Structures are given as C-alpha cells and as structure tokens.
Amino acid sequence: MFESIILIGPGTQLFPLTNSRLQITNLPILNRPLLEHNIEFLLPISKKIFVVILEENRKNIENICSKYNYAVQIVGIPCYDGIVASISRIGKMITSENLIVTKGDLITNIKIEDIARKYLAKKSYFLSMLSETKNESTTVGFREDSLLFYSTKLVNDFPNDLFTMSHVTLSRELDTVEFYMFKRTMLPLFDGGSFGLKQNLLPKIVEDLRNVNPVSLYCDPDAMIYQVKDKESYININKLLKLKARTGNNAIFDKSKQKEVKQYIKKNQLEDFTNYMCDVCIGEQCIVINSILGNEVNILNNTKVFSSIIMGNCRIGANCIIERCIIGFDVDIKPESTLIDCVVSSGYHFEDQIQGSEDIFNVIK
C-alpha cells in the first residue's frame, strides 16, 4: 500500500483571482468536487491520504474529508511555503515504503492501480506522467517510458551523455503532470533548498537518476488526463465529465465548438475579454469570450457570454445568452435568458419557471 499527499495551494492562471476575501480553496465551482474526485482516485491503493491546506481554510474541506473517516487526514499549514517544504513536513508522518504526491487537481480515466503496477514492476524510484502543454519554456527528453532530461529554462545546457543514448526525443510540447509516485528513500532530497518540486527539484531528480534508475513515465495512448490549472481546462473537464455521466463512456472533449467561437470572434471583430475581477459591471449588448467573471459581477441585459466561468454571487440580466459556461453558486438569472450547454452549480435562482431539454434551459412563458 501507498500513502498519499494532496497539496491544496495556489493554481496558475486561476491564482490571480484569489485574495483575502476569495481564496482558491473557497472557489465553490472548483475545489470541493475536484478534491473529492482526487481522494477517490487515490483511495484504492492508499492506506492514508494527507490533505495539506492553509489552517484558516481547514473548515472548508472538513465535511468532505470526514466522510472517509480515518483514511483521510487534514494537515493545516500556517502559510504557503512551497511544495517541497510541505512534503518535507509530511515526510515525518510517512510509514509506507512508497508515496504519492498530487496537487489535487487531476481528472483522468486512468486507474491508480494500473499506475502502481507499472511503478512496482519496473522497481522505479520515481514516476510521473507526460501531457501536452502550452508552456514553451519546459523541455523534456525521454526514451520510451523513461524521462532522461527535464528543464524549465528557456536556454538549456544539455548533458553530453544524453546524446550518446539512442532514440531520445526532445520536446517543448510535452510536460510532466504534477503527479509523482516515489520511494520514501527519496524524501531526504526534499529539503529547504528548493521551493517548487517541478521547477526546482524535479530537474535535479531526473539528472541524478538518469544513469542509475531513470524516472519512469506512465504512458497509455488511450489514457486521458487533465490538470486543472486554467479556465479552459476546467471548462473542458466539466464537459468531459458531463458526457461521461450521460453516455457511460470516457469521451474525450471535442474542441470543435471552441474553434467555431474563435472564428466567429475573428469574423465579427469582437473583443476577447479575459480575467474579470470582482465587482465589475459588464454593459448591455456586450459579448464576453473565454473569461473568468469574478465575484459580484453584474452582467447587464442582452449580453452574450461564451466559454467562460461565471463565479458565485453574480447577477445575469434579462435576454442574455450564456453558452458553454460554468456557473457558480448563488447566481441570479433574470427572465428571458437562455443557457446552452452549461454546468450550473447548486444555489442558483431563476425568477421564472424554467424548462430543460438536454443541455438547454429556457424560461417558461
């Protein structure tokens, strides 16, 4: 059996939306269901799961963790001091030979048992996974299922021995997923000299193990894995889970409609809004694309919102069209509005009765 650590901390593109009033662990449309999904992903092979979170936010996840009884333990920390420090802190509580670390933001159709079998069969010291990335500063070098080079620098000094190896692929279109499975004997590397595992420590681990026992990669051509780090991946994931719930299949999200939206924007010379913060008023007859609308946002009448996240406590005006969006808690939706292909959280308010068919909600006349 393994012991697992889920580190709940700042995201990447979602992090700018957090402040003292609205921290990332309080985003109702993100962390609670995602945390539960990740706990259940890890449970089959974990005798204990430690969930690391700011002490002041402990109460936000207690109701989720308590349902798993002794299997899940919350560890409060006074401040964010980096992944490496958090792992080092938990390391003293680990008794199993093998350890799993994630950031609790994964959605995948891979079974954790399959990853563990691969890790144990290869007698790996360290294992991760690769996925497509938009981060062009990351360079990975791999051969089959072994990671031989990893760097987050724009300019790299490649080791000479890397070029003596045959069939090595170098890529800036792939990156490691923040899922790590490793031996407890690796814990001494997690000292105060590094802040982030991926940026600071992982390159050193890959280099040290390259000629000893290379970092393993779990590879499955039929596997799907998303890491929720931005609004696009969150929208894609919700669409995928919705299709899976309806069809029972592990459907891959079809991006064709997003392509249509971008073509429509270009053709009609529309402005592409991004990252609205809190307390914003969006004027009438506007079109909002690919955005995060923050807390207490007013969307006035006759507005169109596409492929966006509308967070909690927002007010949507009359005659609006909301398409392919995630709608948070306690959102007021005025009459004559149409929601198409949206995910609506609990606690929303419709002023009139509504009718629904498949993905479409309309006000009943």
Residue 18 near residue 89 (C-beta atoms within 8 A)? no
Indicate if the alpha-carbon torsion angle 302, 307, 308, 314 is positive or negative.
positive
- CATH code for the structural domain at 2-230: 3.90.550.10
Question: Distance between terminal CA atoms of the chain?
Answer: 58
* Cβ atoms of 254 and 240 closer than 8 Å: no
Answer whether 318's CB lies under 8 Å from 335's CB.
yes
Separation of alpha carbons 208 and 353, rounded Å = 63
Q: What is the pLDDT of residues 69-97, one digit of tens each?
A: 889 999 998 877 778 888 888 888 999 99
Ranges of each domain in the chain: 2-230, 255-363
Helices 31-42/59-66 angle, 10° precision: 40
Which pLDDT score is estimated for 275?
40
Contacts of 111 (CB under 8 A, 6+ apart): 44
In the three-class reduction of DSSP (H, G, I as helix; E, B as strand; rest coil), residue 141 is classed as strand
At residue 242, what are phi and psi to the nearest 5 degrees? -65, -45
b/e 44-70 (16+ beta carbons within 10 angstroms → b): ebbebbbbbbbeebbebbeebbeeeee
pLDDT reported for residue 92? 84
Name residue 280's amino acid.
Answer: V
Percent of the chain with pLDDT strictly greater than 90: 23
Identify the pLDDT of residue 277: 40
CB distance 280 to 293 below 8 Å:
yes
Residue 248 pLDDT: 53
Q: Taking all residues of the chain, what is their mean pLDDT, rounded to a whole number?
A: 75
- In this predicted model, what pLDDT tens digit does every residue of 292-342 receive, in sequence order? 776 667 778 888 888 777 776 778 888 888 888 877 766 777 777 888 877
Helix (H, G, I), strand (E, B) or coil at 43: helix
Q: Tokens for 168?
A: 């090595």
Cβ proximity of 324 and 342 under 8 Å: yes
Q: What is the pLDDT of residues 12-56, one digit of tens each?
A: 555 444 445 445 555 544 566 778 889 999 999 999 999 998 888
